[in-house]
Amino acid sequence: MKRSGIIILFFVFLLSQGKAQVNPEIYNYWENLYYVNPSNIRFDYTAYLTLNTRVQWVDFPGAPVSAHLSAAFPISKIRSQVATKLFVDRIGYTNTIELLLSYAYSLKINHDNSLNFGVSGALHLRTYDFSKISAEDMLDPTIYSEKVNGILEGNMSLGLEYNYKDVLQVGVSTRNFMSYFPALRANRRNPLQSATNMLYVKYLTRYFGETNWYMDFGAAFRQYDTRYVGDFMTSVYYDFNSSYSLQFQLFGGTAGDVGFTVGVNLLSDLKLLCSYNYNYAVVNTNSYGTFEIMLTYGFKRCPTCINVWK
């Protein structure tokens, strides 16, 4: 009873802190945890590709439109992974591009347990559509230097992830941590990307009895700027056969957003997901919510035969 009371108080605190705009760079990350942690590795694939596009706050003037493209290449022989991500975001007259490269190493503790370490470096470029800017003096040096030339900034992220039997994942990451150090940034007051600290847990069940149903659950805690946000999700899966399956997911968070995702495996390794969410804490008028479409494709690793007679 005492433990339940502590959990309830914890989420009440998050609700009081979490009314902020969703960060499109790390939103809807449950399908690909690499978005938020460079140490996330999928050794059952030789390559894993993800493409998604997101339209936030539909029918709201100047609303953000963003896209992700990521490619991860696990190398099982040396228990490592190299990966890259391209992120593009447009909001009003502001355009942001991020190019990220990462490396991760997996330390195998025993047959069931492993610990992954990851590091990434990123370049952030922010440009402005000068035709959409209105000012009394368009040649003002403050406007002209940044708005025309753009801003380029580098940053880094670190991650750690524990895996148990490929069913339990516990990760912690600090993203864009160089934003904490003004001396390492461009000569400006605010960084292009805020530092974000994150802790998450994700658990995948086995099949329920003799059925083709199974589920996964996830919970996360994020801190960025002075805000503290909690996220949660639960998914139900049904496998029709080895190639086709259906997924339905509910997700939400203390930032005021709730939504759902429907996913289907078009082929054994090609997956299409469509998401919708509504944020009642930030925008509650003039918007039809947020829509996202995601495609994932994994190149399955061929099973290796072990010669027990050696």
Domain boundaries, the chain: 2-300
Query: What integer pLDDT is reported at residue 220 of this predicted model?
Result: 95
The CA dihedral of 6, 204, 172, 157, to the nearest 10 degrees, is: -150
Q: Which residues of the chain have pLDDT under 50?
A: 1-21, 305-310
pTM of the predicted model as reported, rounded to 2 decimal places? 0.82
Question: What's the confidence (pLDDT) of residue 13?
Answer: 39
Give the pLDDT of residue 27: 62
> pLDDT value at position 306?
46
Superfamily (CATH H level) for 2-300: monomeric porin ompg (2.40.160.40)
**pLDDT at residue 164, as a whole number:** 95
The pair of structure tokens assigned to 89 is: 């975001």
To 10 degrees, the CA torsion angle through 220, 224, 227, 231? -20
Amino acid at 67: A
Residue-wise pLDDT for 46-73, tens only, equals 999 999 998 877 666 667 788 999 999 9
Amino acid at 290: T
DSSP line for 147-184: HHH-EEEEEEEEEEEEEETTTEEEEEEEESGGGG-GGG
